Amino acid sequence: MESNFLIAILMTLLAGLSTGIGSVLAFVTKRTSPKFLSGSLGFSAGVMIYVSFMEIIPKARESMIEGSSHVAGHWLTVGAFFAGIIFIGLIDKVVPEYENPHEVKDIEAIEHPDMLENKDELMRMGIFSALAIAIHNFPEGFATFTSTLQDPSLGIPIAIAIGIHNIPEGIAVSVPIFFATGSRKKAFFYSFLSGISEPLGALIGFLLLRPFMGPKVFGLMFAAVAGIMVFISFDELLPTAEEYGEHHIAITGLISGMVVMATSLLFFV
């Protein structure tokens, strides 16, 4: 597992800095494509839902049984899974709805931020979006890092999925700041900072838990990671995908993500 450390850090860093891709796209294209975002977010959800239920939870259960007993391993896996859901759900509650970029907003506010009343409101929207993304990216970074550390064949697709879902977040941060300040550099800088929290969260989580690492602790972490990713998919990715595009585009993206994830894993059987 230690041999995968550098790969895990790299994947987490790339996933987090995808907010910068969103920032760049906002400046080089005249208009973001809602249908493309819808399909991409649905795809990310499909990847994370499939890998959580089909790969991560079974691996977590195996580790938990190895570290405890057959019955206790099953109970602890289920408990850790829902603990992960509760943890990320509490983070969502802590961040006010207006400033939370994961809450569905009218797409017109992103495509035409000049509709907002003044530059102060735009700047506030951008700064609080950056802070909210930074808070959310801590557990997402830990999920990416832990998955890649254990098994790169799982972690790399997860990193790609989380990276895709970070792109519209970068747009949500950079566009209002750009319209408020007129500076692309400032807009990109804040977007970049919000993404840095992802590898930071991964490293902090790893350093805190490393002294206790073993089959049981790893099983608890992996099951919690599955819970975090399932919550992200159902609470954030799919509702946002539906808001950006049409229902069928979001569902097609969802199924496509599952198919791609399932097919890629077959090559490692």
pLDDT, one tens digit per residue, over 78-117 is: 999 999 999 888 887 876 554 555 544 444 454 454 444 5
Q: What is the mean pLDDT of residues 235-256?
A: 84
Instruction: Indicate if the pLDDT at residue 245 is higher than 80.
Output: no
How big is the CA angle at 264 (ends 16 and 256), to the nearest 5 degrees?
Answer: 75
The pLDDT value given to residue 259: 92
Long-range contacts of the stretch 130-133 (C-beta < 8 A, 24+): 130/173, 130/190, 130/191, 130/193, 130/194, 131/99, 131/194, 132/95, 132/99, 132/100, 132/101, 132/102, 133/19, 133/101, 133/166, 133/169, 133/172, 133/173, 133/194, 133/195, 133/197
The pLDDT value given to residue 268: 65
Indicate the residue type of 96.
Answer: P
Six-digit token pair at 78? Answer: 């289920």
Query: Pick the residue with more confidence: 161 or 32?
Result: 161
Which candidate, 139, 264, 123, 125, places its Cα nearest to that of 198?
A: 139
Residue 138's domain comprises 2-266
Question: Within a 10 A sphere around the Cβ of 107, how many other Cβ atoms?
Answer: 16
Indicate the residue type of 108.
Answer: E
Query: Pick the residue with more confidence: 1 or 177?
Result: 177
The pLDDT value given to residue 62: 92
Q: What is the mean pLDDT of residues 137-161?
A: 82
Q: What is the mean pLDDT of residues 160-189?
A: 80
Q: For the chain, how big is the Rg over CA atoms in Å?
A: 18
First to last CA, the chain: 19
* Domain total of the chain: 1
Instruction: Indicate if the pLDDT at residue 228 is higher than 90.
Output: no
- Give the C-alpha separation, 168 to 163, whole Å: 10
The pLDDT value given to residue 80: 96
Q: What is the mean pLDDT of residues 15-36?
A: 73
Query: Pick the residue with more confidence: 136 or 78?
Result: 78
- Give the C-alpha separation, 62 to 223, whole Å: 11
Which candidate, 186, 183, 87, 197, places its Cα nearest to that of 131?
A: 197
The pLDDT value given to residue 246: 74
- Give the C-alpha separation, 8 to 27, whole Å: 30
Instruction: Indicate if the pLDDT at residue 119 is higher than 70.
Output: no
Instruction: Indicate if the pLDDT at residue 241 is higher than 70.
Output: yes
Q: 109: exposed, middle or buried (C-beta count within 10 Å: 0-12, 13-18, 19+)?
A: middle
pTM of the complete model: 0.72
Q: What is the mean pLDDT of residues 123-134?
A: 74
The pLDDT value given to residue 1: 56
The pLDDT value given to residue 100: 52
Query: Pick the residue with more confidence: 110 or 9?
Result: 9
